[in-house]
Structure 1
Amino acid sequence: MPHPSGTLAPADPQNLIAQPDYARALRPLLPDEAFTPDRATPIVLGLNGAILLLGWAMARQLDASHWQGLLIFLPFALVMGNAVVVLLFATHDVMHSKAIRQPQLRQAVQLLGLALLWMPPTLWKAVHNREHHGKTNSAQDPDRNYTLEQPPSWGKWIQNLFVPSLEVHPFWLWVGMTSAWGVHAFRNLTSVLLFNDGSTRYPVVSFQVSSRERRRIALELAAVVLVHVAIIGFIGLRPVPLLLGYFLPIWIGYSVVIAYIYTNHMACQITETNDPLINSISLKMPGIVDTLHLNFSYHTEHHIFPGMNPAYYPQVRALLLEHYPERFNLLGAREAWRLLMQTPRHYVDATTFASSCGTITRPCPLS
């Protein structure tokens, strides 16, 4: 149960293995080239950026009265949505590695790669690289579920409404698929830009950034706003082209991204020792999906070796299955989603979930 101080009681530390211990054990079994930057990542970013530019140029020419052209454009909107996903995943890899070494180019790529996600790169470094990877699914992780005892807030209310659980309404789940990423970005952005005191109540976990980081986040956010204004201005203020060429690809991209994020950790137990095999989930996905999404489904593997070339994550998975088969959370996508839909989303303690009112409790299915 929760400690009187309000922190969650951790899972039994005697049964946990820290992330550096896995890395030390597995590193000698992997080739050196697995830890060299993937030089193809900038090419992937460029190709998917070109797809989006082409799509916006096509949307600019759409005429609402010519329904045949609108129907032809719809499949390309799906391709554009996937490009939004790939921009995030590829930029994510760039920011964990040295695939781009030139500082100014690296900063520009990071900004453009995350712009459609409304995520300033400096904020991403803080919330993802530093806070999430350093405190994965612990009581201090800003990406975990809310706890039952956390006070009501608009952030918690939106999670209750949007996030997959046994009490979510199907309509709001679908709305949340297109919107939850934006809520995540807005929650953390406003927390650090407006307050930055580490005590904001509406994020899952409030954290602070330095004064320099805060200034950079504000400047990067202004640049992100200009990117979106430029896209909308280029397409034109016409409802149908904007819907199909701007909003629909972004909604598709956000839905795919958040589907991955939901399955990464949300069905796992809290661990104060950062044990990626216990607090993370990897997915078994079709090969074509892993190719398109840069092996993002290899999430446990990524948490063991964050800066690794993603092409080598299958080798890490094989080693985990060989050496730690009883600990490794490797699930099919449907099974991972089923677990989310059959359990509540609030932590009562490290290994127990509860509904928003606390009337329904379930043990963590992976504990």
Structure 2
Amino acid sequence: MNDFHPFGWYAAKIAPHLPKKAFQPVKSRLFGGLAYVGLVITGILAVSLFHLHPVWNLLISVVLGFSFAALGFLGHEILHGTVVKTPWLRDLLGAIAFWPLCTGPKLWRKWHNASHHVHTQHEEKDPDAWPSMEKLAKSRLLSWVYRIPFPIRASFAFSSLSVMFTLHSIRMLFYFFKDFRRKNRAVVLFQFFLPWATWLGLLWLVGWEKWFFAFLLPLLVANTIVMSYISTNHRLNPLVPVNDPLANSLSVTVPKWVDILHFNFSYHTEHHLFPAMSSKYYPLVKTYIKRMWPDRYHEMPMGKALAALWKTPRVYYEQHELIEPKQGHVYGTLGNGLDPDRIVHRELETEKQPRSAKKRAKTKKAAGQGNL
């Protein structure tokens, strides 16, 4: 698919069919957030104040991790301005929602709203985009990583989902820090370190064992849930010259009850078309996308999307394909030959001709020397 359109082109065609209330903040989403905050406080107090059996602590940790992730999804929605419009209240509520994930609202809006959404799947400008062969060739670290056999690397990549959101947030702090005005840098640092200070303060109060169940294990669970979504959002899609959400984004399907608990975070293509719209209305947006552009829209069950990620590499070859550099195996992307039900690769042939030419040159030179 080479005829790309910017997200505004699609939005302009769908918007007239949507009710006016779809473009208004939905404050009722805060009731869900309040419920999760209550679960988090109750769970942390239960682990911290009582000497529970490890099995009970483990179960509470899973609930806490699920709640951490859900609050992150709500924080994402809040900081897009779809819950409240008042800037200071938006940032305050967003900071509270992202507190367990230790990400500040100013950094998030710079990283996610102003960079990722504006330059989705642009190799240089999207901070979440994966590298191309050209970028790989310029990085010694990446070149070394991609010498590791693919099965080992894929296993490590999936196990790293449990820490990837946290590590990427820290990386984004360093990446964008210089872009903030000097007067805002102190605020960015304060918003970043204050959540960590509270969680480390909890460690000092309750000790390592209780802290593990009250925060560390829930954080790992939350990272895994959040990154399971984020990993499927764009990583099977091509790099694109135009920010076309139907080309560069994937919506996954999950059970309805999961969508309710996760604030419809699975509707990712819809979100990139209408980032300032509450996710409450994304099922309606999906209906019109599938009616108008059924051949362009990408969706699949989350399990299938994760399996496709497991079976494909994460380096781009000529923008619209994925390549395993060590073996030269080339895979399609969504809209460019990738069939998640039957993932196959082709061999990269481009290097064979030059090598043959070199071999013939060496043979000719050797023959010439033999005649002297």
TM-score under structure 2 normalisation?
0.83
Alignment of 1:73-112 (within 5 A): 73-112=57-96
2:226 aligned to which of 257, 267, 274? 257
Which residues of 2 match residues 306-345 of structure 1 at below 5 A? 306-345=275-314
User: Highest CA radius of gyration, 1 or 2?
Assistant: 2
CA contact (8 A) 1:263 1:336 kept: yes
Secondary structure of 1:119's match? coil
CA distance in 2, matches of 1:356, 1:132: 26
SS at match of 1:272: coil
Give the conservation status (yes or no) of the 8 Å contact 2:7–2:245.
yes
Q: Is the 8 A contact 1:166 1:342 kept in 2?
A: no
Q: Measure the CA separation in 2 of the matches of 1:210 and 1:289.
A: 40
Matches within 5 A, 1:231-270: 231-234=202-205, 236-237=206-207, 239-270=208-239
Give, as a single letter, the amino acid of the residue that structure 2 aligns with 1:218: L
CA distance 1:303–1:95, shift in 2 (3 Å): same
State the 1:169 CA deviation. 4.1
Instruction: Tell me the distance in 1 between the aligned counterparts of 2:203 and 2:145.
Output: 29
Task: Calculate the TM-score normalised by the size of structure 1.
Answer: 0.84
Cα distance in 2, alignment partners of residues 336 and 217 from structure 1 = 35
Which structure's residues are more often helix, by fraction? 2
Unaligned 5+ residue runs, structure 2? 337-372
Q: Check 1:159–1:213 CA distance in 2 against 1; reply closer, same or farther (3 A cut).
A: farther
Select which of 169, 177, 182 maps to 1:211: 182
> Which structure 1 segments of 5+ residues have no match?
1-10, 197-207
Tell me the residue number matched to 2:112: 128
Instruction: Give the Cα separation in 2 of the matches to 1:161 and 1:230.
Output: 41
More relative contact order, 1 or 2 (CA 8 Å, 6+ apart): 1
Partner of 1:97: helix, strand, or coil?
coil
The CA deviation at 1:251 is 0.6
Aligned to 1:288: 257
How has the CA–CA distance of structure 1 residues 261 and 160 changed in structure 2, closer, same or farther, with 3 Å as cutoff? farther
8 Å CA contact 1:353, 1:363 repeated in 2: yes
State, as a whole percentage, how many aligned pairs show the same letter. 24
Equivalent residues in 2 for 1:116-265 (5 A)?
116-139=100-123, 140-150=125-135, 151-152=138-139, 156=142, 167-169=151-153, 171-193=155-177, 196=178, 208-234=179-205, 236-237=206-207, 239-265=208-234
The answer to whether the 8 A contact 2:323-2:331 is kept is: yes
Does structure 2 conserve the Cα–Cα contact (< 8 Å) formed by 1:146 and 1:345?
yes
Q: Aligned with 1:149: secondary structure?
A: helix
CA distance 1:127–1:72, change in 2 (3 Å):
same
Structure 2: distance between partners of 1:28 and 1:318: 14
Give aligned pairs, total. Answer: 333
The Cα offsets for residues 220-244 of structure 1, whole Å up to 9 and x where unpaired, read as 123222222233344x11x321221
| SS of structure 2 residue aligned to 1:77 | helix
- CA deviation after TM superposition for structure 1 residue 304, in Å: 0.3
Q: Give 1:259 deviation, angstroms.
A: 0.5
CA root-mean-square deviation: 2.4
1:48 is aligned, of 20, 23, 36, to 36
Counterpart Cα distance in 1 of 2:199 and 2:245 = 36
Counterpart contact for 2:24–2:277, Cα < 8 Å: yes
Query: What's 1:36 paired with?
Result: 24
Q: What is the DSSP-based 3-state SS (H/G/I as helix, E as strand, rest coil) of the residue aligned with 1:145? A: coil
